[in-house]
Structure 1
Amino acid sequence: MNRLKFNGVKGNFIQRRYAVSLGRRYVLAAASVVLLGVLGCSQVNNNTSALAQSQLSPTESPLQKKTVIEDTKIVDANNKFGFKLFAEILNQDGNAKNIFVSPTSVAIALAMTYNGASGSTQQAMAKTLELQGISLPELNSASASLNKLLENPGADVQLQIANSLWANQSASLRPEFIQRTRDFYQAKVTTLDFQDAAAPNTINNWVKDNTKGKIDQIVDKIEPNQALFLINAIYFQGKWSQKFDQSQTTPKPFYTSSSQQKQHPMMSQTGDYKYHETEQFQAVSLPYGQDGRVSLYIFLPKENTNLKALTQNLNTENWGKWMSQFRQREGFIQLPRFQTEYDITLNDALKALGMGEAFTNKADFSAMGKNLAISQVRHKTFVEVNEEGTEASAATSVGIVATSIRQPQEPFRMIVNRPFFCAIRDNQTRSILFMGAINDPQ
């Protein structure tokens, strides 16, 4: 039996895998990785057998058996952080054709990391993650409840959330940190010899398995001072409540943000939808599954404005107001098939949002181990939308180094033939799982 050693405490742990049934074609996945490393040789336990390949067997908390979220503060915090992060990504990476991220994946990976933060580093992370006024036990309990609820979205919809911690065999980590990661985030805990050339492949294979092959690499290489990786992977598969008729899909013009006109396959459908319209945009909710608990929201700027103007108004206050104003309405929707992959390192965005200290030698992750700092937060996503549903994946990597009422109205027409904003939302918990700005569906 392999053993783990955390600050001199040994224990046997039973290996646990997250078994996930193979999805069909339409999947959305996300993965987030926090990379942590050591700043100097003195910060690493010299006992090379300290961390052997092993996994902790999770102890299910009673909190994870809840079917409702009694306190929505964590959902509100995650959504607020998500909009802030998305705005900063647009500010820094606005030249990208398409931007597509999973704020839920990033928030979960950083919540696990937050469990190891102390002092001013913890305060800075709390401000960035919108966790001020929320205690660590409250965060962990609510996160466990939320994750459990999110993973049961109903028929024809699958959402899997998987977490893992990969530690260098010579690292020394606090057992309390490991225990919280296991108990509340159901993380698979494994130790590896980071000097082994096969180590990155071992980690990447876990991400590939938990995103159903949509993301096959999140760790390119492991630096000599790397101590551990904290990884979240989200996999979503949804079939439309009302599928688009493939025979109705025809090439139509799509006008990109650079004012280029492209012929692109456009799906068409008439039906009854939750719909909202203002002077600035049209918006429609396209539900998945039998009960429509999860939906794809499409926001199309009016022709007298643009996507940039719309995204500048994206925040939790406006989002909440817009969500409350959707009403059932008959209409016609024409939507492009689209597919995109996105890969970004979030270090600069997170620094701009106030947690820069966590990336420096002043970082305080003493609740995790000695002399640790975040080296990289990497995020990758994949999404495909077509006639039958949605397929997508996302991954986030964090590394640490040492250191409604019906009203009679005319049917609407919504022709999504120019750049638009989209979001996949769990309507029961109000969690925003993914969001994106699509400038070019190709």
Structure 2
Amino acid sequence: MNRQKLSGVEKQFLQRRYGVSLGRRYVLAAASVVLCSVLGCSQVSGSTNSFTQSDLPYSETQLPKKALISDTKVVDANNKFSFKLFSEIAQNNSSGDDIFISPSSVAIALAMAYNGASGSTQQAMAKTLELQGMNLPEINSAYATLKALLETPDPQVEMTIANSLWVNQTAKLQPNFLQSAQEFYKAQVESLDFNNPASANTINQWVEDSTRGKINKIVEDIPPDQVLFLINAIYFKGQWTNQFNKSQTAPHPFTLPSGEQKQHPMMSQSGEYRYYENDQFQAVSLPYGEDGKISFYIFLPKEESDLQSFYEKLNFENWEKWMSQFRNEDGFIRLPRFKTDYGVTLNDALKALGMAEAFSNQANFAAMGENLKISEVKHKTFVEVNEEGTEAAATTSIGMVPTSFRPPTEPFRMIVDRPFFSVIRDNQTGSILFMGAVTNPQ
């Protein structure tokens, strides 16, 4: 295996058992919005899933055995959906721009909408969301359990998941649907006059508050046929377990997809990390907080490879295999500071994944209201990574309208100086919170 030689300074770091501190804080926020034109809604009740003890083979440190969802099908379903969704977006990313999404935010928003689907539309959504074989009470109670688990990190990590329903005051909604949203998703339910221009501001203020100001607008002008908004917001803020030292940040070349190089600020650190390497890529996990419950994973394709080749291997089965092969290794990491904005309309991706009926006049959302279909699913994100911290935000809007309309033998050296893929993962549950690719850090 070819390796670059370590500098004298790097060797000193390793010899001193990696005493360098690594300063870094991660702040992420995601908001998902379901904009619905609804005539009625319904609810399916369910009981809370039990908890069981489970080993945590993918954790950063030897996390204590904690209670997890006894049935991990919802987590697996969300992760399978995550990779399918990212693949569809990447395939249509002809410009090669950075990609950054929160599949968990999208999945939660769609799960709330799923409660209103019936018949073949519900079956199509279940296939897209990988929920086949699970009944609605099981799905809802599993999401409630997952929310509680994700929101109990260590003192140095903050994680919140908020949901809300904003209903046009003229709409008649099924009480059962509202009760389901409140009981399982802890959704705040409010009635508004959608003819009043101030209503959009009210909704946007909730999003801004729920994402700590990282997302300030998800709703523009409210169309006359919109009568319901279902909104999800995810916020994450955490300090690195080992913080980056600002004095180690310096300009280094970063190679763009075109082969051109540019000088870019790069943060450096030596230490012991959870690390995995094979013939195609290097991967490292940078944990947050005291116990490493949540981590930032970086996957760097080898120099003779690229992100497109990596994407061909990126699926749920390989992901599970890769996660099981991370081991503690000594090494050196150099990571760029970066900031990017990203936006995409997900209609085509979701149709390609099997949800086409939900966008058509044949859509059946009878459990939500009569004659409804999804009109548009939009997703917007922001992420910034620097020495002081990392901030990220994601919003998903779903509009609904009437249908009538191997191990290293020496310390590794990982220089992230070319396009790379990254994931923010909850190691306790295995849930993927955010994922993206950086091709041109700004």
Specify the TM-score bucket, using the shorter chain as the normaliser: 0.7 to 0.9
- Which is worse superposed, 231-240 or 369-378? 369-378
Identical positions, percent = 65
Alignment check: 8 A CA contact 2:48 2:141 kept? no
Counterpart residue number, 1:268: 268
Counterpart residue number, 1:194: 194
Secondary structure at the residue paired with 1:330? strand
1:352 is the counterpart of 2:358: no
Shift of 1:380: 1.9
- Which is worse superposed, 342-351 or 87-96? 87-96
Alignment check: 8 A CA contact 2:47 2:138 kept? no
Alignment check: 8 A CA contact 1:166 1:190 kept? yes
Counterpart residue number, 2:8: none
1-structure distance, mates of 2:248, 2:46: 48
Aligned counterparts, 1:51-130, within 5 A: 67-130=67-130
Counterpart residue number, 1:290: 290
Counterpart residue number, 2:35: 35
Over 3 Å counting, the alpha-carbon distance change for 1:335 and 1:408 in structure 2 is: closer
Counterpart residue number, 1:52: none
Counterpart residue number, 1:166: 166
Aligned counterparts, 1:322-401, within 5 A: 322-401=322-401
Alignment check: 8 A CA contact 1:253 1:262 kept? yes
**Cα deviation digits, residues 381-439 of structure 1 (max 9, x gap):** 22222225432111212221122xxx883000000000000000000100000000111
Counterpart residue number, 2:150: 150
Secondary structure at the residue paired with 2:92? helix
**Cα deviation digits, residues 228-283 of structure 1 (max 9, x gap):** 11111100101100111100000111111122211110000000000000110000
Alignment check: 8 A CA contact 1:36 1:402 kept? no
Counterpart residue number, 2:240: 240
Over 3 Å counting, the alpha-carbon distance change for 1:64 and 1:257 in structure 2 is: farther
Counterpart residue number, 1:53: none
Tell me the amino acid that sits aligned with residue 201 of structure 1.
Answer: N
Secondary structure at the residue paired with 1:68? strand
Alignment check: 8 A CA contact 1:274 1:326 kept? yes
1-structure distance, mates of 2:25, 2:214: 11
Over 3 Å counting, the alpha-carbon distance change for 1:44 and 1:113 in structure 2 is: closer
1-structure distance, mates of 2:271, 2:94: 34
Alignment check: 8 A CA contact 2:156 2:238 kept? yes
Shift of 1:220: 1.7
2-structure distance, mates of 1:73, 1:280: 29
Counterpart residue number, 1:16: none
Over 3 Å counting, the alpha-carbon distance change for 1:94 and 1:144 in structure 2 is: farther
How big is the alpha-carbon RMSD for the aligned residues of Structure 1 and Structure 2?
A: 2.1
Counterpart residue number, 2:422: 422
2-structure distance, mates of 1:398, 1:218: 10
Shift of 1:358: 0.9
Tell me the amino acid that sits aligned with residue 167 of structure 1.
Answer: V
- Which is worse superposed, 29-38 or 259-268? 29-38
1-structure distance, mates of 2:292, 2:46: 29
Secondary structure at the residue paired with 1:365? coil
Alignment check: 8 A CA contact 1:166 1:230 kept? yes
Aligned residues: 399
Which runs of 5 or more structure 1 residues have no equivalent in the other structure?
Answer: 1-23, 46-58
Aligned counterparts, 1:311-330, within 5 A: 311-330=311-330
Counterpart residue number, 2:252: 252
Over 3 Å counting, the alpha-carbon distance change for 1:367 and 1:408 in structure 2 is: closer
